[in-house]
Every structure is written in structure tokens, then in C-alpha cells.
Structure 1
Amino acid sequence: MRRLGHLRTPALLLTALLPALALALPATGAPGHGNGHGPRGVDPFRHGWEEKVLDADQNFRGLEAVSKKEAWVTGESLTDGGPAKVFRTTDRGRTWDDVTPADTEGLSFRDVEVHGKVAHVLAIGPGEASRIYRSTDGGASWTEAFRNDDEKAFYDCMAFYPGGRKGLAVSDPVDGKLRILSTRDRGRTWEVLPSAGMPDTADEFGFAASGDCLVTAGKSAFIVTGGAQSRVLRSDDRGLTWTAVESGIPAGEAAGGFAGAFASPRHGIVVGGDFADAKDTADTTAWTRDGRTWTLGSDLTHVGEDVTFVRGWRVAVATGDYDGSVGTSLTTDAGRTWTRVSDLGYHAVDCVAKVCWAAGSKGRVGRG
């Protein structure tokens, strides 16, 4: 699964380098506030991140902010062959319950989606390593809703449309095209969609950096890519057909757009960078006002692994933490310009009702 000679997918690059990265990161202590120095009076970062460690052996890249009180995080073990875990809080992050499915040794949970009482977690990887688990009771019990049986497929991200009845997952290219998996019954069953409506995407892929290389807004779905090309693909028919346009973020073997967020089908932001040179933060953001054409925004001062809107379509937060490129930034003009608001950074960020949650390396979670 770890191929350093020829990188089949950036997810493999991350998997291979994370244990070494974890050893290089500074230890995190008790919960505390982290260096909030952005625009005064702009929530949620007047006081920075309040951080705690849930399990130092976990690398968290999956995150779902359900409400001010409830959030879910998912990860992978930094110990070779260790279990991938799922945690849930319902008391504003004061306590977290381990709600991990059984038999997750060696898996990598990179995405979690929650709609009402139904939760899904996505395990990434080649062949049978790619799986989707489903729970309807807050994680007390799980069923395996999908297991990939194609060794050429490698699922990276998952997203549901509003209401949670219909959803999609995206795989790295199979026979030259990104593969789309679809559900229409709240994740009980999944099917591979025909590839006829997918443009040529050979050597182009989604990054499993934060679970947001595939996102939805209204009836539209968007895939953020890197590799041979750095593009944003859009579908308005539940994943059957897609159009692709350049994001403007530079492409590369480990570079491109890493995550996207959409306040509506017209208003979106993409962030990214280069995992092979994470400290090169030039051209790491792009924005759209029509959902179809993209303009580069100002540069972040850190890698952009994830982005989310805080409220409306103007205020959004971006974060990242890879190979010493660390921080959190805020935009109040819909992605045109960015201001660093914290020296703490994470792999994933999600906001609801002006409260932001974050998840990152060595079992760290933040609330801002």
C-alpha cells in the first residue's frame, strides 16, 4: 500500500510520511488557547483555538461539525497496523466517546458525514481497504455498507446532498476517469455510476487530506483535484455528468487543490498547495462567484488542507498542518484575501452556528 517510487495517489504519500511527521511535531499539552491574532471582533477566533488531545496515536483527517454541541472526528493509527478510530462529542467537546466500529486494524478513516441520526465513515485505500461504515444510533453499532472489490479503485472522499438521502463518493481514476459511487437510500446501498459523463481525468485525483475533495451545495456536487491537472469538476445531475475547469492552483504529483467549500452552488473557495514542498504557499487559494469560473485569491501563510464557511458566503476559515507548514487563516471577503488568525493548524476544519471545530495530528481536536 505504501509505494514511494511511483506515487499512485497523494493519499499514499500522506500515509507513508505521516508517522515520521508525527514524531517531528511538538508535543501538545493540556487544553489551551492558541495564538489568536487575526481581525478583532471577528468570530470564531477572538481567543484562538481551545485544544485537547483525544488519542495521541491517532491522526485525525475526518471531521463533521453537527452543532455547537456535537462533532465527530475520524482517524488512522500512527502505529503500523493499529486501529482506525471514531470519536463523538455531544457536550461542546468537554468529553469525547470512542464509538469506533469493530475490526478496524490497518484502516484509515479519512471522512465522516452525519445527517440526522445517520452517520457514515469512509476508509480509504486500494481495493478492499476502501469501505463505508454506517450507524443509525450515534455510533453504538455499525454496519458495513460498502466494500470496494476493484483493486484499481481507491476512494478518497464522500459527501451527501442536503437531507442526507442521496450521496456520492469519489475514487482515483479507473481506466482514465475518476470513478463515482452513489447512494439514493441514505447510504444503505451504494452503486458505481457509469463513466460516460466523466471527462478524461487520467493521472488526476482527489486528495484524501481532509475529506473535502468532494463537497455538495444544493443540487450540485464539486470535486477538487490535483496531479496532472488542478481543476474543479461540477455535476448538477447527482454525479452522472461532470464539467471541469482549471482552479488556478498549481498542479503537480503531490500538488493541486486539496479541499473545497461552497456556501451555495455559486459561491465557493478551494485551498491547496504542494505536499512535496508544503512551505511553498504561493497560489494556495481560489474563489468563484458563479460556481464555474475561478480566480486566485491571496496566498495563505501555510498549506491549505481544508476550508469551510463560517456564515453566509463571505466569512470562511482555512487551515493546514504538514511538514512545518502550519496555521489557520480567515477571509471576510469570500476568499479574495486571507489573514492568519492562529499559529495552530489542523488537517480538517468545519463550522456550524459560528462555532468551528478542527481535527489534526497526534489526536488533536480544537474548538474555536
Structure 2
Amino acid sequence: MRRLGVTLIPALTLLTALAAATAATSAVEHRGATRLDPFDAGWTEQVLDADQNFRGLEAVSRKEAWVTGESLTDGGPATVFRTTDRGKTWTDVSPDDTAGLSFRDVEVNGKVAHVLAIGPGEASRIYRSTDGGATWTIAFQNDDPDAFYDCMAFYPGGRKGLAVSDPVDGKLRILSTRDRGRTWTVLSDAGMPASADEFGFAASGDCLVTAGKAAFLITGGARSRVLRSDDRGLTWTAVESGIPEGPAAGGFAGAFASPRRGIAVGGDFGEDPDLQDNVAYTRDGRTWTDGITLTHIGEDVTFLRGWKVAVATGDFGGSAGTSLTRDGGATWARVSDLGYHVVDCVAKVCWAAGGKGRVGRG
């Protein structure tokens, strides 16, 4: 394992004051000025490995976080980094022989960590570690050339989990584990609605998320929908998210504070990123309402406190930024011009990760 002592680079640090009634007015201050709001949305940024594009992130605690990525050099290794001291130092805990792979998701439940590699055929695989990344086993390796796994999520407790592939034979494919990720099984697609040319985006690892006993799929492509399962992935119902669909557009990620309250974000990864109607929210877990459009692409979203306060971020094609909502996704205020591919918050501390090996803590 390679342990890194990384110099912190002070980033553009913003303090936000949002009017409680409108949640739309923000005041920007440098760090060290009078604190106007309990959430500091500024980022302290560091670079772990400039050759890595980070899209997987798990915020375990204030002290511990994991990030995963892919090499920006053709054929370079995919990596996994872990910190247990608030980001002062990071340890390279990558599996062996990862050349050419793309690690897009990481899930940590107690002492068990899983990393998802995406791609066609055998490139899609799930690695499992029970010792903090010191050793890894391959728990699943895809053998279907038509499958391409995008995202992974575990239910509370970490015993049961799901992963999703792009459509095979016209339907999204669901992979399931019931033994803490030791073994994985492809589920029957009998309960999956037709979904040809509809897919999950592996933008941040959060196109598949869970809340309680419910699981949610955020999709784009030919249709932009949110699919919900209440029986561990056996059957799904689908509704339109309201985020515009397109060949490279739709919903990219979702977050749920409960099975009833959630937020979806997205946009367009095309040559001219479309920001129109790129966020939606639900109050019943089944119907979706357009929120006030983010002023940047929405690659990921996470709740910070309860069901009202959440953070969204993105960085693509010159569209970058981080925004905050205080009303469950209905209205948003930009709080930083720094944007990332993935964000996760725990205990009022937010971690983020993005291109060129950047990791932020706020």
C-alpha cells in the first residue's frame, strides 16, 4: 500500500447565508469571516493523483472517506484511496492488476468495502475487501458481452445489495447479493419495465440508491425516469422524472432521505450541456416535481441534514459548481464555483471528488 501525505490547497471558500423563507439568497464570505450559516459550503481541495478521474466516493465519517477512479492515461491503472484522518494523509489501497479498468462506485458497510468497475463484458466486476483495502477478492465478474454495469448500492446494514446494468434484451438488468457481497446473482427481468435505450449513467455511482427497504434507479437516454422497487429488486415501477431525456441526457444521480423524500439531478453530457430542468424532487417517493434549475450540470446529489438540506455538484464541459437546497430540492443557491463528479456528506461534513485527482472537504 502507498501512503500519501498530501498538501492541502486552499480552495475558493464560501460561506452561505440563505433566507429561511426563500432559501434563495446567499452571502459569500472568505473562511475566517463572521459565520452567517451553520453549513460552510466552501471546499478545501487537494490533489491525490493528477492522472486519476475520481467518480466513486464513500463518506464513512468525519475522519474516513474512500475515493475510486480511472486513469486519464490510456491503459493506466484504476485506483482506490482511503483516508482515516480527515484527509491529512491518503493510502493507496488499490487491488492488483487494474490496468484499463474504471472504478466508478465504492460502498463501505462496517469492515466490508466493495468497488465496482464498469465497462462491457468482463470489464464489469465487483471487488470486495474486509480489511480496509489491504487485500481484495473479485466477488463478481460479468460474463455477458451485452451487459455493462453502472452503479451499485447496499441496503441499510450491508447484508443485501444491488447493482444495475444497461439493458440486456430490452430491459435493465439487476444483480443481487444477500450475503454481504460474497456472491452475486442476476435477477429475473420479469418485473422490470421495458427499457430499451434507457440506461443508468455511471457519472457518480449514484444512479442506483436505497432508502429503507426501497431502491431507486435514476435513468436517462431514450427515457428519463425514476424506477422504484420495494421487494429487493424483483419488481419495479417507473415514472417520468421531468429531467429532459436525450442520447447523453437525463437523470444522472439520486439521493433519498427516506423512501418518500428524494432528489434527482442530471443534465446533458452532449457537446452543448443543457441545464434546463436538471433537478427534480419527490415528497411521496412516487411522483416528481421540477425544482428550480441548477446553474451547473448535476452529476451527483446528497443529503446533508434531514430531508430539507442537500448538496448538488457537477463538473462537465465548462459547467461546474456546487449548490445547496434548504427545502428538499425545490429551490437552490450556488455556493461554490468549484464542481466535482461526486459528493457525499456525513455528520455535517461533506466530501467531494472529481477530475485530475481532486478531492474536496467542506
Q: TM class by shorter-chain length? A: over 0.9
Q: Tell me, what secondary structure is at the counterpart of 1:34?
A: coil
Q: Any runs of at least 4 consecutive aligned residues in structure 1 with deviations exceeding 4 A, and if so which?
A: none
**What's the offset of the Cα at 1:38?**
3.2
CA distance in 2, matches of 1:242, 1:302: 31
**What's the offset of the Cα at 1:152?**
0.2
Report what 2:194 is aligned to: 200
Q: How does 1:339-354 map to 2 (within 5 A)?
A: 339-354=333-348
CA distance in 2, matches of 1:52, 1:69: 15
Report what 2:133 is aligned to: 139
Q: In structure 2, which of residues 182, 186, 197 is the aligned counterpart of residue 188 of structure 1?
A: 182
State whether residues 8 and 44 of structure 2, in contact with CA within 8 Å, keep that contact through their aligned partners in structure 1.
no
State whether residues 55 and 103 of structure 2, in contact with CA within 8 Å, keep that contact through their aligned partners in structure 1.
yes
Q: In structure 2, which of residues 230, 240, 249 is the aligned counterpart of residue 255 of structure 1?
A: 249
Q: In structure 2, which of residues 31, 47, 57 is the aligned counterpart of residue 53 of structure 1?
A: 47
Q: Tell me, what secondary structure is at the counterpart of 2:96?
A: coil
Report what 1:102 is aligned to: 96
CA distance in 2, matches of 1:71, 1:278: 33
CA distance in 1, matches of 2:16, 2:196: 41
Structure 2 letter corresponding to 1:215: V
Q: Tell me, what secondary structure is at the counterpart of 1:96?
A: strand
Report what 2:39 is aligned to: 44
State whether residues 343 and 350 of structure 2, in contact with CA within 8 Å, keep that contact through their aligned partners in structure 1.
yes
Q: How does 1:63-142 map to 2 (within 5 A)?
A: 63-142=57-136
2:9 matches 1:31:
yes
Q: In structure 1, which of residues 207, 212, 228 is the aligned counterpart of residue 206 of structure 2?
A: 212
Q: In structure 2, which of residues 245, 257, 277 is the aligned counterpart of residue 283 of structure 1?
A: 277
**What's the offset of the Cα at 1:34?**
1.7
**What's the offset of the Cα at 1:239?**
0.1
**What's the offset of the Cα at 1:278?**
5.4
Structure 2 letter corresponding to 1:227: G
Structure 2 letter corresponding to 1:36: L
**What's the offset of the Cα at 1:37?**
5.2
* More helix per residue: 1
Report what 1:17 is aligned to: none
Alpha-carbon spacing, 1:59–1:43, altered in 2? closer, same or farther (3 Å): farther
Report what 1:13 is aligned to: none
Q: In structure 2, which of residues 166, 169, 172 is the aligned counterpart of residue 175 of structure 1?
A: 169
CA distance in 2, matches of 1:104, 1:266: 39
**What's the offset of the Cα at 1:281?**
1.2
Structure 1 gaps of 5+ residues are 1-28
Structure 2 gaps of 5+ residues are 1-6, 18-26, 28-35
Report what 2:20 is aligned to: none
**What's the offset of the Cα at 1:200?**
0.3
State whether residues 13 and 44 of structure 2, in contact with CA within 8 Å, keep that contact through their aligned partners in structure 1.
no
CA distance in 1, matches of 2:169, 2:359: 38
RMSD of aligned C-alpha atoms? 1.1
Report what 1:246 is aligned to: 240
Q: Tell me, what secondary structure is at the counterpart of 2:356?
A: helix
Structure 2 letter corresponding to 1:33: A
CA distance in 1, matches of 2:280, 2:338: 22
Paired residue total: 339
